[in-house]
Amino acid sequence: MDDRRDVEMSIYYYTGIQVRNDRVRKIEDRVIREERFRLYLNGSFYTEMVASNEQLRELGAGFVICQGLARTVDNVETDGNCINVSAPVNREPEKELGSAGALGTKVLPERIASEYTITKEDVFRITREIETDVWKQTGGVHCSVLFHEGNLLVKSSDVGRHNTVDKVVGHAVLSGIDLSRCVVGCTGRQPRDMILKSGRAGIPIIISRAASTDKGIATAEEAGITLVCFSRDERFTVYTHPRRIRDLMD
């Protein structure tokens, strides 16, 4: 599905009254759609998700990987507002409350040992790509991008920042991409549960336009993830494992 089609599926048009510089006028505004989806894992209901209605196969696959429910996904099918994922689940993990108020899992990632590196210019280049046409037209979504070995692989946008990571990871999983040589870029904050998503997927570098939290930084340090935040304009802050930005101290 191309991005233009995604935009058409993801927005509604609403009339409003806009005030700008003392000028009042009627406008037709683009507003992001918010829908609910039911995710089934191996035929059993697992959870309900609030999400935008594109890249649903990727959303299902990425959710299973990013929650640590399975290491691989066999198949994903969608039927209306149902997402059906088949995956070799080892066990039912214990659940915990995440930063968005939804239940996630307590599965801890293996420490990431990837030696993949990028440059300072790569950080800025990836940051510039963290936008989609849906974001440009509505301003009502979060965005994520996934770069593989320096090349833009996929973009996603969604009403939930967590979903955008699930979608780009799901795309990589369904395409057989080596996530240990990937960088994820996000618009959203990076608290502990967002860091855990990338860690479970095995992604070594996170770049965010926004902030982290104390537990997000501590989790990135423990998981072996290079965490870059406040990446905007001509600045960024590296909190953990700076060795993966190879010209950082030049």
Q: In order of start, what are the domains of the chain with their CATH numbers?
A: 35-105 (3.10.20.10), 120-244 (3.40.140.10)
Share of the chain above pLDDT 90, in %: 76
| Positive or negative torsion for Cα 180, 46, 155, 130 | negative
DSSP secondary structure string for all residues of 78-94:
EETTEEEEE--------
SS3 151: strand
Residue 1 reports pLDDT greater than 50:
no
Q: Give the predicted TM-score (pTM) of the model.
A: 0.89
Confidence class for position 9, pLDDT limits 50, 70, 90: low
The amino acid at 161: R
Calculate mean pLDDT across residues 80-87: 97
Contact by Cβ (8 Å): 8, 52: no
Band (pLDDT 50/70/90 cuts) for residue 3 is very low
List, as one string, the DSSP characters of 26-78.
EEEEEEE--EEEEEEETTEEEEEEEE-SSSHHHHHHHHHHHTTS-S---EEEE
How many CB atoms lie under 10 A from the CB of residue 113? Answer: 9
- pLDDT digits over 53-82, tens only? 999 999 999 999 999 999 999 999 999 999
The model's pLDDT over 31-60, given as tens digits with 9 standing for 90+, comes to 888 999 999 999 999 999 999 999 999 999
Distance CA 57, CA 31 (A): 23
Structure tokens at 48: 């309900």
Mean pLDDT of the region 95-117: 76
Write the Ramachandran bin of 42: left for phi over 0, alpha for psi from -120 to 50, otherwise beta. Answer: left
Identify the helix (H) or strand (E) that includes residue 218.
helix 214-223
- What pLDDT is recorded for position 220? 97
124-160 pLDDT per residue, tens: 999 999 998 888 888 889 999 999 999 999 999 999 9
